[in-house]
Chain A
Amino acid sequence: MNCGSHTRTLSLPAAYLASVVACGLVTLLAMPLRHYLDLANIVMLFLLATFLTALWLGRGPAVVSALLGVALFDFIFVPPHLGFIPSDAQYVVMLGVMLAVALLTAQLTARARENAIAACRREEQTNHLYQLARDLAGTLSRWDTQRALDDFLERTGYRAVLHFVEPGGPVRETHLAESLQAAFRQGRPLEDGAAPTLFLPFRGAHGASGVMVVTSVGNAVPPPVQESELFRAIASLVAIAVERLNAAEEVQASRDQIASERLRASVLSALSHDLRTPLTALIGMADALAISQPPPAGAAQAASSGEALTAIRDQARSIGHMVTNLLDMARLQAGGFSLRKAWQLFGDVVGASLRQLRAAYPGRRVQVALPPDLPLVEFDAVLMERVVFNLLENAAKYAPDDRPIEVRAWLEDGKACLAVCDDGPGFPAQRIDRMFDLFERGNAESSRSGVGLGLAICRAIVEAHGGTIRAENRAAGGACVALRLPLGMPPSFEEEEEEARR
């Protein structure tokens, strides 16, 4: 729909001139008729002119037309002719009524015209906004959104720029930063008095997202503040579009995450299988050779090849441990790792770890001090066994063989604590806080095997249980690693009713 038929196609001076010309034409037309027509009918011609002027040219020209019409009528048609002061009092009434009717007509008609124009404009605007909404619904990115907005405002003389504000994030355009932040914080339109600029925050239901800055291009249009209705509507459309984009991004992101987690899990399990299979074969072959050694031709040679086989097997085993540690570390760090927690006793885990230690260090002395009344603690037994075994293995590796390793457990501040201590050289004092970092070793040049994964995996496991782990040197010398796990609420335990058996 085009509102042009209602709008003024002439400039303002031309419209006034046209109204004057119209009055003149009516006068010229009425001159020859004045002997045939009543004055009242001539009044009608002037009123018609005023009415049409109001309809086509607007309020101002219509008022001019009304005043000029009354003046011309008085001067030319009301006796005495060519004089303003009427000869009869009834003409005064006639002129007064004519003026009143002309002005009222001008007023009413002009208002009706303005209403029609406004309605037409609104309809046009609604259509435009509908179009914009459709365009915005098809956008795929923030950049698209801005472009749809640019297209929409192209010929309006306004320009709107979208500034996206991440919650707590910085605003890049520093000269606007203050106004942007203020508009965003207040969550309502902000008008900049000095420059004709309108700041409109747009906000999605989930806390997105930014400020629309509206400026006028050139001086042809009123400042954007006067069109704030329209821009508010636009801002809410933009908010919906941005909300939709955010939701789509989130969906995509979670889809990506699921896909990448699935990929990671399958890579880890394939890697685990592919690394372990040759190791198992290698260890098996070394073992098989060692077992089926032919009777020694030369005792010395047999002994050395036996040693070599043992070394192959031990090295393959330690690679196996490393692979296990690495894969567990990767799984723990990747997150989404589910602990198989159950209510456990430290005694079980310590016993199992010691049994594992015996395989590698058969004669090693270990002193265990576990109070018999320790409560149940919730943890993943397999992973916690790894922690305790790693700590024991470290102690066995770094402390002298003839000194016992100590394992203690106790309760402290609502935590279940377990410590493994030795009489070895201890941790290097300046690096003690970094001992749990990945690939950190007490002594980088040490000939002992291990890549510093042991303590890192201990920390990862303990922290996954909501616990803490600390390394310290004992005053008397030697290293101590203590872990603390939250106690929680153990499940109930009912003692059985004692009755004499048999």
Chain B
Amino acid sequence: MSAEIAVLLVEDEPHIRRVLQSSLAAEGYRVFEAESGERGLIEAGTRRPDLLVVDLGLPDMDGVEVVRAVRHWSNVPILILSARTEESDKIAALDEGADDYLTKPFGIGELLARVRALVRRRAKGGQEMPRVHFGEVQIDLVGRSVTRNGELVHLTNIEYRLLAVLVAHAGKVMTHRHLMREVWGPGHAENSHYLRIYVSRLRQKLEANPAEPAHLITESGVGYRFVVQG
């Protein structure tokens, strides 16, 4: 890594903190640590990190609170670490604007991949991309057209809007609620079956193997994620 990228680690378990710290440092990141939510917020304010890794089960305050507080003043990418018993907290944190999550126990490889993706997204952030390629598909965001193997794919309005929202947030986990709000507008948050049906149709039209999607990924119980590389 040429320009040093700063990562703030908010985790109360010393063993996990140490492992994450050393792995991230080995990858060339500059790592700051905080063992509590309060400390984490202070560090986030003073160090201005490029990425936050926040454990949901903090001793002093809810990880969701940390995400909410940070989102008041920053768009810095936030990766959530959660245990399986914190399912609803995880969704709340994503709804509050966290970008991605990892469920404990997770591998370092997974962690580094997620961190890399988030950092890359941040680096690219702001610049509008006219075209997106994935698999056999090319999306022309300016001309609002989608082709597959060079042939025009017909998408309905909603299908296109949904695809555009997912592509715009590539790599980020989008909760059902968030997607419903973006595509159908507020007031439709309860009709998430629409979302499932439309995602399924998009897969039929765009995925090489719709039964085993490589780009339009299901995050069970949470939402969907678009990834460029399968």
Taking beta carbons and an 8 Å cutoff, which residues of A are in contact with B? Answer: 268-269, 272-273, 276-285, 287-288, 291-292, 313, 316-317, 320, 324, 327-328, 340, 342-345, 347-352, 354-355, 366, 368, 370, 372, 376, 380-382, 384-385, 407, 490-491, 493, 496, 498-499, 501-502
Contact = CB atoms under 8 A, between A and B. Distances in A.
A499 B156 CA distance: 8
Contacts of B15: 277-278, 281
A284 B104 CA distance: 10
Nearest to A358: B212
Given A284-B16, A288-B19, A501-B144, A345 B85 contact: no
Interface string B187-226: 0000111101101100110000011110001111100000
B160 A501 contact: yes
Given A277-B16, A351-B211, A501-B155, A385 B104 contact: no
Q: Is the interface of A mostly helix, strand, loop or mixed?
A: helix
Contacts of B23: 284, 287-288, 291
Leading 4 A-B pairs by shortest Cβ distance: A287-B108, A284-B19, A368-B211, A281-B15
B22 interface: yes
Contacts of B219: 352
B149 interface: no
B126 interface: no
A376 B196 contact: yes
A272 B16 contact: no
Given A285-B19, A324-B84, A352 B220 contact: yes
Quick one: which of A281, A282, A345, A493 has the most chain B CB within 10 A?
A281
A499 B144 CA distance: 15
B211 A347 contact: yes
Nearest to B204: A372
Given A320-B105, A366-B212, 20 more contacts: A272-B84, A276-B83, A276-B84, A277-B104, A281-B16, A283-B107, A285-B19, A287-B109, A288-B19, A316-B105, A317-B107, A340-B221, A343-B192, A347-B210, A352-B219, A352-B220, A355-B212, A370-B211, A376-B197, A493-B197
Contacts of A502: 144-145
A493 B160 contact: no
Contacts of A281: 13, 15-16, 19
B26 interface: yes
Contacts of B19: 281, 284-285, 288
Majority DSSP secondary structure for residues of B touching A: helix
Interface residues of B, number: 46
30 contacts: A268-B85, A272-B85, A273-B57, A273-B83, A276-B105, A280-B105, A281-B15, A281-B16, A284-B19, A284-B108, A284-B111, A285-B19, A287-B23, A288-B23, A288-B26, A288-B108, A291-B26, A313-B107, A317-B107, A324-B84, A327-B84, A327-B85, A343-B192, A345-B197, A348-B218, A368-B211, A491-B193, A496-B156, A498-B156, A502-B145
Which of A273, A350, A370 has the largest count of B CB atoms less than 10 A from its CB?
Answer: A273
B196 A354 contact: no
A300 B194 CA distance: 56
B87 interface: yes
A279 B219 CA distance: 23
